[in-house]
Each structure stands twice: as C-alpha cells, then as structure tokens.
Structure 1
C-alpha cells in the first residue's frame, strides 16, 4: 500500500492485530509493513517509531469498553460494568498489561474511560481526591487480575518461538509447585481437594468476588467521606 493511501488509522488497527498475535516482542515496522502490504518506510510517514505506535495502539483498545449510562443504572452497577469491561479488554489484549511497565499511555480512548470512571464514583458520593482513589483502587485490582493471563500469553509465545512445548512446560512447573506446596498444611489441604484443578489456579468466580468486596468496602466508606 503506497504511503499516500496509507492512513494512521489503518496502521494503528494493524498494529493492534499484530500485537494481539505476536505480542510486544513481535511488533516491528517490517512485520507491520507486510501486514499492510506496504514498505516499512511508508509507516514512518505516519508514526515516529515503535514506542509511538504502541502508545497509539494502546489507546485504541480502550474504545472497546462500553460506558454505562449513569442515568439508567446505579453507581455500583456502573462500577461493576466498567471494571468487567476493563478486564475483558485487558485479557483480550494481554500485551497492554506488559506495556504498562515500559510505556506511558495517554490519548482520547483512555481519557474517555477515565472520565466516566470518575463520574461513577462521584455519583456514588465521593468527591475530589476520594473519587480518584476509589477509581484507582478498582483499576489496580483489575490490572492485577489481568496480569496472570498476560504472563501466560507471553510465556506461551516464548516457548513456541524456542521450539518448546508450552503446555508440557506449564504442567511440569505446576507439578513441581504442587510438590513444594505439600510441605505446608494449608496449601496441602487445597492441593489434595478432589475439585482442585492445580496449585496455582484461582477458584471460579474469584474476580467477581474480589470486585464486589472492593465495592462493598467503598460503599461502607461513603458516610465518612470528607472533601
């Protein structure tokens, strides 16, 4: 695709798709050019470098999160919907979680989400810095929950590129972790339960449990919120 017909929007969308398929380590201008059927040099007419492209792609995916209508639902339902949408977006694009450690993300997509998030907690009754803290608490919880799937995706790609079998490597590691866990009474009791899938796996519903526990805690603080 010639540079005069290539648009930044096309480049950013292709970058998101390449990042989803290959991760941060698989994104480079040559691979992106092949995906766009264009010379790598044509991409540089629209973006400065790879880091700039990651930031643009990172902001694009925030648009996938549906924003709840505060006139139609209460603040708790809206907060849960935002958090669930954020979790789905992050686990759908696991490279974004990794990129938080090396890039400073900004742009209209993230700002759109942040603005609605603050509106949710202001609707609950939080004001000023308290609304910021409430939003940050939920965001950090979601980010931490998405970290496991992000790490798994990265490790799977790493094993595949090295010609190894990711599933066998994970199974061996879980067996070793289980052997260590048997030395500790509470961990041993969990490993020995018939329903235990593996030592590292969280029980079903853990995300929902944690999210609602946080929202319960925030709601309990509302009577004592100070500006």
Structure 2
C-alpha cells in the first residue's frame, strides 16, 4: 500500500482528510507534482492527466508519486486548490464597496478559469475542496466582505455558495469555445466568422436565435462574452443587494453597481 493511501476508516477519501505521512523522496515534492500536473493540464487538457503521464513528465515512476498523492482523485483536489491560490483574497479593510469587491472576485475567478479552462471540467470532482488552504483563504475573505456589508454569516455563506458555482457555470461555455478555437489554430473573430454559414443553417428554424447571432456578427467575440458575463454578474449582485437588511452597508449598492457596470462596458 502506498504510504499516503487513505485509511479504511476514513469516512470520505480526500487529500485534505488524512495526515501526510511517509518520507519524501529526495528531489521530488508534492508542490513539484502539483506544478507539473497544472502544466500538463494547461498544455493538453484533462484527458492527458494520469499518474503515469505525470511521472514521465517528472522523470519519476508513478510509484514515486504515490508517496505524495494517493491517486488521480487527490491530484484533482490539489490542482483545484492551486487554481484558487492564484486569486486575490478580498479584504473588507480595503474600503471598497462590497458590491465592487465581490465583482472583482468574480472577474478574477473568471480570468483564472479562462487561463486554466480544465478547471471547469474538474471543479465538481474536487471532493472536499472547501478544506483546501487556498480555497479556504479565498472563501474567508469573501465571507468577511459580505459580513462587513451587513449580511449575517449564514446569509453570507449561502450567498457565496451560489456565487462561486455561478461564475464557474457562466465560464463553462466560454472556456469550451476558447479551447475549440485554440485547437483549430484560428483567432476568435476569424473562427466566429468562419462559423457564420454553419450558424445560419443550424438556426434557420429558430428565428429569434438567428436574430441574436446576426446582431452579434462583426462584434469582437471577447466583447460579447464580457457583456454576457457582466449581465449575469450584475443580476446576481442585484439579488444579493435585495437581501441586505434595511440600513445595511449595501443600502446604496444598486446605484454604485450601475455606475460600475457602465464603466465596465
């Protein structure tokens, strides 16, 4: 049994639910393994990730990796937490209005997901991801911002439980589009224009959809994606603002958000 294999009495098997044990192999660390896994995922996608491929990339046998990571499921937990380590942790002491601070977190999350589109596919497989140190720091910061705005802690936690998956969900189709464009070797605008004839044919029995696509033709795809994301984010924040108790710190938030949205466009 590998040194880090979870014990049989562990209720949920997760890298965060067991102690690290076993002596590290000289020249190889968990941090190196996770870094190599992220590089492999960025270059070749989720399909390429395996302990064997990772071992080859590190010049080590798969057995050596098992001294640090019990298997692919744990590796997914680790790379997802590494992903969250790229995000800036919000701090209510910065003085930004809560709505601006939360919007900045959402946009940071979106940008990171587009840098690492594989995270959309594996995010739901990350087991006890909430126990990862990077996600925990980020979540604590978001909760602090929401609590400072006037939400009680229970409401803040529920708001965060909606916000983070919503952002990942909104990014999913965008990440899939970007991955397809990169595989085809074209830029986004050229790819969209080449698809126009196909789009017309596919939408010929759906006049409303065809009208939407026709109106977007000629617009930079990035601008279209930004507008959809900003719309969804603003509506989420509108809903949260409506939940603030009367006299809460976010009482004037809708007016501030309208100005912020106008600037973003």
Q: TM-score range by the shorter chain?
A: 0.7 to 0.9
User: Structure 1 residue aligned with 2:61, among 13, 34, 39?
Assistant: 39
- The CA distance in 2 between the partners of 1:22 and 1:82, in whole Å, is 27
Distance 1:205 1:192, change over 3 A: closer
User: Structure 1 residue aligned with 2:48, among 23, 26, 30?
Assistant: 26
The Cα shift of 1:69 comes to: 2.6
User: Structure 2 residue aligned with 1:114, among 139, 142, 145?
Assistant: 139
Count of residues paired in the alignment: 217
- The CA distance in 2 between the partners of 1:52 and 1:185, in whole Å, is 47
Asked whether the equivalents of residues 23 and 154 of structure 1 are also in contact (C-alpha less than 8 Å), the reply is no
Paired residue secondary structure (2:125) = coil
TM-score by length of 1: 0.80
TM alignment of 1:1-227, pairs within 5 A: 3-72=25-94, 73-104=96-127, 105-106=129-130, 107-152=132-177, 175-193=197-215, 195=217, 202=224, 204-223=226-245
- The CA distance in 2 between the partners of 1:28 and 1:94, in whole Å, is 18
Asked whether the equivalents of residues 91 and 144 of structure 2 are also in contact (C-alpha less than 8 Å), the reply is no
Structure 1: tracts of 5 or more residues without a match: none
Paired residue secondary structure (1:4) = coil
TM-score by length of 2: 0.70
**After alignment, is 183-192 or 61-70 more displaced?**
183-192
The Cα shift of 1:83 comes to: 0.9
Asked whether the equivalents of residues 190 and 196 of structure 1 are also in contact (C-alpha less than 8 Å), the reply is no
RMSD (Å) for aligned C-alpha atoms: 3.1
The Cα shift of 1:140 comes to: 2.7
Structure 2: tracts of 5 or more residues without a match: 1-23, 248-265
